[in-house]
Amino acid sequence: MESSALVAALLEHDTAVMRKVPPGTQQVTSALTLAEAGRAIIRARATGRLTAAEEQAAVRALQTFERRCFILDVDRAVLDRVRRPFPLEPLRTLDAVHLATAELLGEPPALVTIVTRDARLRENAEALGYAVE
């Protein structure tokens, strides 16, 4: 699960992409996703996009998501991979972190589905052989 899909679910109640994930599937995300989603909630409240009650609901939803996921740290191996080219450059650093995290799972790409709303990340994930929702 990549940040753009999670933030859309939390702030826009757009869960269409997340509903495509088969039931019983192990959800995996980067610690970066949780940080980005948490910041998005804070920004949305600070800019008046969310009420206090909506902010609380979003925080609870993020906590629930976090409890249900396997969280991968952004470690040296991820950062080393980020410094190498991806199939379709240019790619933003944080998007590269998400893809590097997926690659370092060690699973064949055919067994991993990347959940994202970001077009450039989607294109690179597909070029690497991942299914994308």
Contacts of 100-103 with CB under 8 Å at 24 or more apart are 101/30, 101/32, 101/72, 101/74, 102/130, 103/128
- Residue pair 121/131 in contact (Cβ under 8 Å)? The answer is no
State the Cα torsion 98-87-133-15 to the nearest 10°: 40
State residue 25's pLDDT score.
84
Classified as helix, coil or strand, 129 is coil
Number of domains in the chain: 1
Q: Sorting pLDDT into bands at 50, 70 and 90, what band is 14?
A: confident
Average pLDDT estimate for 98-120: 93
pTM over 0.75: yes
Average pLDDT estimate for 57-68: 95
Share of the chain above pLDDT 90, in %: 86
CA dist 130 and 126 (Å) reads 5
**CATH number for 73:** 3.40.50.1010
Q: Sorting pLDDT into bands at 50, 70 and 90, what band is 21?
A: confident
Q: Sorting pLDDT into bands at 50, 70 and 90, what band is 132?
A: very high
Q: Is the bond into 87 cis (omega within 30 degrees of 0)?
A: no
- Structural domain for 106, as ranges: 3-132
pLDDT tens for 23-46 read 788 899 999 999 999 999 999 999
pLDDT over 90 at 102, yes or no: yes
